[in-house]
Amino acid sequence: MVETIEIADLSIAVTRKAVKNVHLSVHPPEGRVTLVAPTDTRIEVARAYAITRLGWIRKQQERFRGQVRESPRRFVTRESHYLWGRRHLLKVEEREGRQGVTVDHRTIHLCVRPGSDASRRAEIIHRWHLGLLHQALPPIIKKWEPRLGVTVEHYFLQRMKTKWGSCNAAQRTIRLNTELVKKPRDLLEYVVVHEMIHILEPTHSPKFFELLTKNYPNWAEARLELNELPVPAM
């Protein structure tokens, strides 16, 4: 059961789980706050802990509010689009026949039927993004499975507003944000490793960060870079 703590203008969602320590998180892009506490934690204790972290919460929320956001995409010629961390210009060609996307050095070519609207163009681009991610992800997972000693039974791709990835440790599955196709490839790898380690350690416990540091020593720099890159328009 999820409870809510109200502190001034903050609403903090509290969940009790079989964990040893309290875990407070601020989630991009809106700065949503969650708190995971041990199952026997009284709500008053959780509230008191959150109050001691108010300064940190405000700082994280301010950082997210100041994060650069993409303007809404209209999918027209000469509009900027990002692919694997690099800026490309979009070139739209309307013609009968097969619709699709190709890319050269710094241009994304979108072929659509005459009269296609922005939503249809967005759908074609999204399908192309999915294809690119399905090509990129299996080699990364295969590379890290023996290193971490885990098996990923399945991965899912999904548009997410508040996180880059998630993990279902019991089912050994990971879920990744399709926006990662716009970020540098090494940041995609960081998110995959992060979620795979959650199969071993489901929470952000000291053991989790110990494993992350051992296997991906530059994780803090990768996380900072990822969170400072432009995020989708809300």
Q: Which domains does the chain have, with CATH numbers?
A: 2-65 (no CATH), 80-228 (3.30.2010.10)
Tell me the average pLDDT across 13-29. 85
Instruction: Tell me the average pLDDT of the chain.
Output: 91
What tens digit of pLDDT does each residue of 89-104 get?
Answer: 999 999 999 999 999 9
DSSP notation for 147-171? HHT----EEEEE--SS-SEEEETTT
The contacts found for 13-21 with CB under 8 angstroms, 24 or more apart, are: 14/43, 14/46, 16/40, 16/41, 17/203, 19/203, 19/205, 20/205, 21/205
State the pLDDT confidence band at 60, using cuts at 50, 70 and 90: confident
E strand or H helix at 54, and its extent? Answer: helix 54-65
User: How far are the Cα atoms of 17, 34, 45, 162 from residue 23, in angstroms, in the given order?
Assistant: 10, 8, 13, 17
Q: Considering the chain, what percentage of its residues have pLDDT values greater than 70?
A: 94
Q: Considering the chain, what percentage of its residues have pLDDT values greater than 90?
A: 73
**Quick check: helix, strand or coil at residue 20?**
coil
Tell me the C-alpha distance between 197 and 166, whole Å: 11
**Quick check: helix, strand or coil at residue 181?**
helix
pLDDT at position 81 over 90? yes
What tens digit of pLDDT does each residue of 109-132 get?
Answer: 999 999 999 999 999 999 999 999
For the beta carbon of residue 18, count every other beta carbon within 10 angstroms. Answer: 8
